[in-house]
């Protein structure tokens, strides 16, 4: 084990709890529960043993459906994010805990309070992955039903995050006096009400929670459109991306980092971490064989048929997973709901492409689906995978990876045991967390990530005599600053 080499870009690693979905091999005898606390504890502690930056949860607000029925790969459930973050924080000490929570269906004051609370309980180790949620299928879960028009989802996200930050910043340092002699606990002059009027929210709120040890939770974003990228450049400190190819990753990296100067930010204030899966073996050949086995295990006969039906947009009764693709042409219906990746623009062209591949490679339906959905980013021996991760980071194709193992909860263990030491030997991965040598205090998540702590806005902005500050930023201001009656559009 060597110390990190300051001349080389450092790798960031995130552990994505796999739960149960189409990439998880739940039928493997080594697979455990996706909901028992023991699974979350094992996974979070393994990631902490591997000195990962944080452990991560995606969010699914509604069980997927296929052909109007619950899609079985979601039946096992998707437990709620905040409770799991708190639980994982309580059994770890230094690693960050980051959860996905939609800005489309939550309310800012309540969500800001929940996140700030866990940020305090964990010693400043929390992050929030702000997503805008995919569609009206999920929207039907909520009070207003339906969905927002696409563009409005990002304007709502902007307003949501601005309001959350105003609340998180609304307690000044030193607001808690705890002065026994004077009998004063809080200095009310230093706790500011936030008055916000905007197209999405009209709120007069006070935060019930002081600023956290890292200021406020780290903001993560996952969304790929130009609007999503602009939102990230203005608001996020991390992007969870889908761009796992090397050249594609470099292009995405340049694009997003190129948007930062317009937002007054520098390159290192935003980290780009694509999702990645891996198949390890003692040798590269053994790893390739293992990757093939995993893809086949991920594609049960039922999964293969459901995948083809989702592309074909219709039920295909009698389709043999060990036989050929159907002769019938695709329909126009939506067979699958709640899964963005199965939507197809031109079904007939896609069907022709699949038929051509199956014929050329002499593949059965199941083999074809396994080949089409195989998405291991890293396949090889520990040395090969460590070298590959290092290449991506030095080549600015990413700042590291969000690793998604195929087994819950033990799928990360071999990566921690076999690949992490090799990254450390290369001098590109930490060999310890930055625990305070005097107090023993844990590092905040921002510190672990090497991100600057957010500066609290100048207190003058919070006082009537200081004026409202920048009027263009006055959509979300403390109530005791002058607030315009109407927020300019």
Stretch that binds ligand FMN, among 173-181, 239-247, 368-376, 419-427 (CB under 6 A): 239-247
Residues between 207 and 236 that touch ligand FMN (CB under 6 A): 222-225, 227-228
Query: Do 91 and 61 meet the contact criterion of CB atoms below 8 Å apart?
Result: no
Shortest Cβ distance from residue 60 to ligand FMN (Å)? 6
Q: Is 443 in the site for ligand FMN (CB under 6 A)?
A: no
**What is the C-alpha to C-alpha distance for residues 67 and 73, in angstroms, rounded to an integer?**
14
Q: Which member of 94, 100, 200, 337 binds ligand FMN (CB under 6 A)?
A: 100
Residue 24 structure tokens: 């998880």
Reference 477, options 466, 132, 214; nearest CA is 466
Q: Is 341 in the site for ligand FMN (CB under 6 A)?
A: no
Q: Is 255 in the site for ligand FMN (CB under 6 A)?
A: no
Binding residues for ligand FMN, rule CB under 6 A, total: 18
Q: How do 271-280 and 238-241 pair as beta strands? A: parallel
**What is the C-alpha to C-alpha distance for residues 79 and 342, in angstroms, rounded to an integer?**
23
Shortest Cβ distance from residue 124 to ligand FMN (Å)? 23
Shortest Cβ distance from residue 462 to ligand FMN (Å)? 32
Shortest Cβ distance from residue 153 to ligand FMN (Å)? 7
Residues between 132 and 191 that touch ligand FMN (CB under 6 A): 132-134
Q: Is 34 in the site for ligand FMN (CB under 6 A)?
A: no
Q: Is 240 in the site for ligand FMN (CB under 6 A)?
A: yes
Shortest Cβ distance from residue 201 to ligand FMN (Å)? 19
How many alpha carbons lie under 13 Å from residue 111 in its C-beta half-sphere? 23
Shortest Cβ distance from residue 424 to ligand FMN (Å)? 27
Shortest Cβ distance from residue 227 to ligand FMN (Å)? 6
* Minimum CB distance to ligand FMN smaller for 71 or for 195: 71
Residues between 101 and 120 that touch ligand FMN (CB under 6 A): 102
Stretch that binds ligand FMN, among 79-87, 130-138, 255-263, 423-431 (CB under 6 A): 130-138
**What is the C-alpha to C-alpha distance for residues 316 and 295, in angstroms, rounded to an integer?**
23
Reference 217, options 147, 168, 263, 251; nearest CA is 168
Shortest Cβ distance from residue 415 to ligand FMN (Å)? 20
Stated as kind and residue range, the H or E segment containing 220 is: strand 218-221
10 Å CB burial of residue 288 (0-12, 13-18, 19+) is: middle
Give strand pairing partners of 379.
279
Q: Is 320 in the site for ligand FMN (CB under 6 A)?
A: no
* Minimum CB distance to ligand FMN smaller for 325 or for 402: 402
**What is the C-alpha to C-alpha distance for residues 19 and 84, in angstroms, rounded to an integer?**
12
DSSP string computed for 164-184: HHHHHT-BPTT-EEEETTTTE
Burial 449-474 (b: 16+ CB within 10 A, else e): bebeebebbeeebbeeeeeebeeeeb
Binding mask of the shown chain, residues 40 to 79, with x at each position contacting ligand FMN by CB under 6 A: ------------------xx--------------------
Handedness of CA 338, 340, 344, 345 (dihedral sign): positive
Stretch that binds ligand FMN, among 8-16, 237-245, 319-327, 480-488 (CB under 6 A): 237-245
* Minimum CB distance to ligand FMN smaller for 195 or for 229: 229
Angle made by CA atoms 85, 86, 92, in degrees to the nearest 5: 85
Q: Which member of 55, 131, 368, 412 binds ligand FMN (CB under 6 A)?
A: 131
Shortest Cβ distance from residue 6 to ligand FMN (Å)? 30
Stated as kind and residue range, the H or E segment containing 366 is: helix 365-373
Residues lying near ligand FMN in the complex (CB under 6 A): 58-59, 100, 102, 131-134, 222-225, 227-228, 240-242, 275
């Amino acid at each position: 084990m060597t110390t990190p080499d300051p001349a080389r870009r450092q790798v960031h690693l995130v552990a994505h709890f796999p739960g149960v979905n189409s990439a998880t091999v739940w039928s493997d005898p080594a697979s455990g529960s996706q909901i028992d606390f023991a699974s979350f504890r094992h996974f979070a502690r393994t990631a902490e043993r591997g000195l990962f930056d944080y452990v991560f949860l995606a969010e699914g607000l509604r069980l997927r459906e296929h052909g109007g029925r619950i899609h079985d790969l979601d039946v096992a459930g998707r437990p709620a994010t905040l409770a799991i973050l708190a639980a994982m924080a309580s059994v770890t000490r230094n690693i960050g805990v980051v959860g996905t929570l939609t800005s489309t269906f939550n309310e800012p004051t309540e969500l800001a309070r929940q996140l700030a609370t866990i940020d305090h309980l964990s010693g400043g180790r929390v992050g929030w992955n702000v997503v805008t949620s995919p569609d009206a299928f999920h929207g039907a879960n909520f009070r207003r039903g339906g969905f927002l028009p696409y563009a409005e989802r990002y304007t709502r996200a902007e307003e949501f995050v601005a309001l959350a930050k105003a609340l998180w910043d609304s307690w000044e340092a030193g607001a808690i006096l705890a002065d026994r002699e004077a009998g004063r606990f809080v200095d009310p002059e230093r706790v500011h009400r936030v008055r916000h009027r905007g197209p999405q929210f009209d709120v007069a709120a006070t935060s019930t929670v002081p600023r956290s040890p890292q200021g406020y939770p780290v903001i993560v974003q996952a969304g790929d459109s130009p609007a999503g990228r602009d939102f990230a450049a203005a608001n996020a400190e991390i992007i969870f991306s889908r761009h796992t190819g090397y050249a594609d990753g470099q292009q995405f990296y340049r694009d997003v980092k190129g948007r930062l100067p317009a937002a007054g930010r520098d390159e290192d204030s935003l980290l780009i971490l694509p999702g990645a899966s891996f198949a390890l073996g003692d040798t590269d050949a053994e790893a390739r064989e293992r990757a093939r086995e995993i893809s086949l295990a991920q594609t049960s006969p039922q999964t293969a048929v459901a995948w083809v039906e989702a592309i074909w947009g219709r039920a295909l009764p009698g389709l043999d997973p060990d036989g050929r693709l159907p002769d019938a042409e695709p329909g126009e219906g939506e067979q699958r709901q709640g899964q963005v990746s199965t939507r197809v623009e031109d079904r007939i062209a896609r069907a022709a492409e699949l038929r051509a591949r199956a014929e050329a490679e002499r593949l059965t339906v199941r083999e074809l689906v396994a080949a089409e959905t195989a998405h291991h980013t890293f396949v090889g021996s520990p040395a090969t995978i460590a070298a590959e991760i290092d290449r991506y980071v030095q080549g600015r194709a990413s700042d590291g990876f969000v690793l998604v193992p195929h087994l819950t909860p033990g799928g990360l263990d071999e990566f921690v045991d076999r690949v992490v030491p090799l990254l450390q030997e290369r001098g590109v991965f930490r060999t310890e967390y930055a625990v305070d040598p005097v107090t023993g205090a844990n590092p905040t998540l921002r510190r672990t990530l090497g991100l600057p702590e957010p500066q609290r806005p100048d207190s003058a902005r919070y006082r009537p005599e200081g004026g409202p500050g920048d009027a263009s930023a006055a959509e979300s201001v403390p109530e005791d600053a002058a607030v315009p009656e109407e927020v300019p559009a």
